[in-house]
Amino acid sequence: MRIQYVTSSVSLKRSLENGTEEQRQTVLSIIEDVKKNGDTALLNYTEKFDGVALSSLRVTEEEVALAFKQVNSETINIIREAAENIRDFHSRQVRESWVTMKEDGTILGQKITPIDAVGVYVPGGKAAYPSSVLMNVIPAQVAGVERIVMTSPVGKDGHLPAAVLVAASELGVKEIYKVGGAQAVAALAYGTESVLPVDKIIGPGNIYVALAKREVFGDVDIDMIAGPSEIVVLADETALPNEVAADLLSQAEHDERASSILVTPSSELAEQVALEVEKQLSTLPKREIAEASIRDYGAIYVTSTLDEAIKVVNELAPEHLEIITEDAMEQIGKIKHAGAIFVGRFSSEPVGDYFAGPNHVLPTNGTARFSSPLNVDDFVKKSSIISYSEKALKQNGAKIAAFARLEGLEAHARAVEERLKK
């Protein structure tokens, strides 16, 4: 791993995967086809892209029952416990509606209402991602969303992965469709005979899913378009090189474009971690991916002080930040931008990826400067409440009319004055 002694600005920005014009055209034509031909289009694309001819899209109770037979009880218990932790954490994010009342009779407030219907896209491919089910569905449930729909591409066997179905079932999600790609996004946004449309679509996916989400945005809401993942470890000489290296590699195995960065004032730690990374890499099953990621996007930044290291961290605005220093907790106050902050050596990133409770859907690629982890607020909206009394309008009506006229909006002024007549 490259070791760089830094004094000036650093940045982890990688170009977002925007897709080619050809991919975009493909996505647009899929969306049009689904709008026009509904379920028929969905079934055709499933045959074309996933290689499976289905007769219906919705997952049946029998399929869910079968999935439970394929997953051992220990796994089910882990999923349950993780779900409980995630539900507990997100419950603390719930906010209440409020009103404030003034002496003149004015009532102002903010009403919180859940979004009606949310569609969760669960990626398919080679692996099953039950954690993605938990992290996307639970905040919506905690927010009070009435209808939560899940959709995911089928495997070659015509089924969804057992662990995904078990996770969904444990959460009580009953409306699950065997469809993936841009066609799934189109179905969620515009509806078909068997899929009623939703108001918001969330969840990660491949480039076609990302492009489709971008296209339907505005007609429905979407979550972020996720970029490649990253970890920054802020560590001093008290950190253990083998642990730091293992955490860097856990990020690197995700994706060749993932980014793993150590920032430290200790050049000794820097050198030891670099060695450890090489050593641990050699026995990893996903060695090739991790190696490319470390080579192209990995870095060790050595600064002269811990405070300078923190400055670097704030410039990077990482998705995941680990703080492995003396008095790690005391450093949190200095962190301005980070999706999730893992504090101390026992808080290895996978603790948060799977189990502790906070969400693993986090702002990537420096967007922690302005974005947040997926949370309950993403599934509610606010409505302002404004109730003016007669007294309040008499008191303030002339001022409001004057303000409207200042902006050249005469009908606004008259609407107020209409109440003050006679």
Where in 383-412 is the site for a copy of itself (CB under 8 A)? Answer: 383-390, 392-393, 396, 399-404, 406-412
Site for a copy of itself in 247-286 (CB under 8 A): 247, 249-250, 252-254, 280, 284-286
Specify the residue, 110 or 267, whose C-beta has the smaller distance to a copy of itself.
110
Residues with Cβ within 8 Å of 173's Cβ and at least 6 positions away in sequence, in order, are 120, 133, 137, 148, 149, 150
Annotated active-site residue 417? The verdict is no
- In angstroms, give the least distance from the CB of 43 to a copy of itself: 27
Specify the residue, 175 or 417, whose C-beta has the smaller distance to a copy of itself.
417
Indicate whether 76 belongs to the interface with a copy of itself (CB under 8 A).
no
Q: Which of 6, 59, 82, 150 binds a copy of itself (CB under 8 A)?
A: 82
Report whether 360 belongs to an annotated binding site.
no
Specify the residue, 36 or 414, whose C-beta has the smaller distance to a copy of itself.
414
Active-site entry in 319, 322, 337, 349: 319
Annotated active-site residue 320? The verdict is yes
Active-site entry in 230, 243, 320, 322: 320
Specify the residue, 292 or 393, whose C-beta has the smaller distance to a copy of itself.
393
Segment interacting with a copy of itself, rule: CB under 8 A, options 2-10, 37-45, 60-68, 128-136: 128-136
- In angstroms, give the least distance from the CB of 107 to a copy of itself: 7
Report whether 237 belongs to an annotated binding site.
no
Segment interacting with a copy of itself, rule: CB under 8 A, options 49-57, 58-66, 104-112, 186-194: 104-112
Specify the residue, 42 or 163, whose C-beta has the smaller distance to a copy of itself.
163
Indicate whether 325 belongs to the interface with a copy of itself (CB under 8 A).
no
Site for a copy of itself in 6-35 (CB under 8 A): 16
- In angstroms, give the least distance from the CB of 271 to a copy of itself: 19
Specify the residue, 28 or 385, whose C-beta has the smaller distance to a copy of itself.
385
Indicate whether 194 belongs to the interface with a copy of itself (CB under 8 A).
no
By CB under 8 A, the count of residues binding a copy of itself is 119
Report whether 159 belongs to an annotated binding site.
no
Question: Buried (b) or exposed (e) across 22-51, using 16+ Cβ within 10 A?
Answer: ebbebbeebbebbeeebbebbbebbeebbe
Indicate whether 94 belongs to the interface with a copy of itself (CB under 8 A).
no
Which residues have a catalytic role annotated?
Answer: 319-320
Tell me the binding residues for Zn(2+). Answer: 251, 254, 353, 412
